[in-house]
């Protein structure tokens, strides 16, 4: 008589854990499995053995985990949180959209698990890694690429003011709306102004700050401002025209510790092993060719 078997999906539901955790247990040798064609199966006796081993050891597995992510606001992060909420009941992500630099500082202080950033280093012209290597010397880290994205000037449809580039920001008939200090977009703006020898004081509205791309774009859409620096995706959502200025790298920085290592591994699995990439591949203004690539790691 053939013994009853379970699939990883069935076992995940039985134990109330993720399918990826089941595969991780198999990979570590804690759960014995075999293949039928290209499908994985676990025998019922093996499931009972694992349950009894877990019970006798007095060890309680708690796979429902939460991660704190802080840093830049981006639609990719919003999509990731929605995907996790819908597909992965074993993991929750709590975001704090506070800007790239503040997010990195929160990670440095141990106040979050993941930082989302796009920080341009004015000395090297590189994104993110110069700042990461400056703040973190000994801590275990993984830096993973989500996408490259377009930053530029968002303007009203049809460009009624005839704006061409950042030099037009000094015109008396142009009102600008800025991003908050510490945001990656603010870094890019100030870097661009310095290269063009433009004084911030010459820009009407430079001191007016918004805290995310959509609220900034809405200021232009409503006619409160004539232009703002932001991402193409925000301009597309509010039917604005867009003048590209720079392609930038948007990365996640994962800081590992004993408490969050399982949750972070789940997050990596979701990014690298699931259909999440397919759900964002056609978003306007993003290039996902390097999506999921580990660009720096320190264990």
The answer, as to whether pTM is greater than 0.85, is no
Tokens 């996408």 correspond to: 147
Q: What is the pLDDT of residues 19-48, one digit of tens each?
A: 777 777 787 677 888 877 667 888 888 888
List of domains in the chain: 5-56 (1.10.10), 64-299 (3.40.190.290)
pLDDT band at 60 (very low <50, low <70, confident <90, very high): very low
Which of 38-47, 156-165, 282-291: highest mean pLDDT? Answer: 156-165
pLDDT at residue 1 tops 80: no
Closest of 149, 214, 209, 132 to residue 178, by C-alpha: 209
Q: What is the pLDDT of residues 236-271, one digit of tens each?
A: 999 999 999 999 999 999 999 988 998 999 899 899
Integer Cα distance of 149 and 136 in angstroms:
25
**Which residues lie closer than 8 Å to 124 by C-beta, 6 or more apart?**
130
**Which residues lie closer than 8 Å to 273 by C-beta, 6 or more apart?**
20
**Which residues lie closer than 8 Å to 38 by C-beta, 6 or more apart?**
none
Q: What is the pLDDT of residues 215-232, one digit of tens each?
A: 999 999 999 999 999 999
Mean pLDDT of 95-121: 96
pLDDT at residue 65 tops 80: no
User: If residue 140 lies in a helix (H) or strand (E), which one and from where to where?
Assistant: none
Tokens of 236: 């597309």
Mean pLDDT of 45-64: 64
pLDDT of residue 64: 44
Integer Cα distance of 201 and 203 in angstroms:
5
Integer Cα distance of 85 and 78 in angstroms:
11
pLDDT at residue 57 tops 80: no
Catalogue the E-assigned strands of the chain. Answer: 5-6, 34-36, 39-43, 65-71, 91-97, 114-117, 141-155, 176-179, 209-210, 227-231, 241-255, 286-287, 294-298
pLDDT of residue 89: 67
pLDDT of residue 49: 84
pLDDT of residue 151: 97
Mean pLDDT of 177-183: 96
Higher-confidence residue of 297 and 91: namely 297
Mean pLDDT of 161-181: 97
């Amino acid at each position: 008589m053939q013994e009853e078997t379970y699939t990883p999906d069935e076992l995940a539901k039985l134990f109330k854990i993720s399918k990826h955790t089941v595969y991780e247990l198999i990979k570590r040798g804690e759960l014995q499995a075999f293949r039928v064609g290209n499908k994985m199966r676990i025998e019922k006796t093996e499931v009972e053995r694992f349950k009894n081993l877990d019970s006798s050891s007095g060890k309680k597995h708690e796979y429902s985990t939460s991660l704190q992510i802080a840093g830049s606001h981006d639609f990719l992060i919003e999509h990731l949180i929605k995907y996790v909420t819908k597909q992965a009941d074993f993991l929750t992500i709590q975001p704090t959209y506070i800007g790239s630099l503040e997010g990195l500082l929160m990670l440095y202080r141990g106040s979050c698990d993941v930082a989302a950033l796009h920080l341009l280093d004015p000395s090297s012209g590189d994104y993110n890694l110069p700042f990461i290597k400056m703040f973190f010397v000994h801590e275990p880290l993984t830096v993973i690429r989500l996408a490259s994205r377009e930053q530029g000037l968002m303007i009203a449809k049809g460009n009624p003011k005839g704006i061409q580039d950042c030099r037009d920001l000094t015109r008396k008939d142009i009102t600008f709306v800025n991003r908050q200090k510490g945001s990656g977009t603010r870094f890019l703006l100030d870097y661009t102004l310095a290269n063009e020898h433009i004084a911030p004081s010459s820009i009407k509205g430079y001191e007016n700050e918004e805290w995310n791309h959509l609220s900034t774009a809405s200021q232009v859409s409503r006619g409160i401002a004539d232009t703002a620096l932001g991402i193409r995706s925000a301009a597309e959502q509010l039917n604005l025209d867009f003048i590209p200025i720079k392609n930038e790298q948007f990365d996640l920085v994962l800081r590992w510790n004993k408490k969050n290592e399982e949750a972070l591994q789940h997050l990596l699995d979701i990014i690298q092993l699931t259909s999440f990439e397919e759900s964002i591949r056609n978003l306007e203004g993003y290039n996902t060719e390097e999506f999921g690539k580990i660009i720096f790691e320190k264990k």
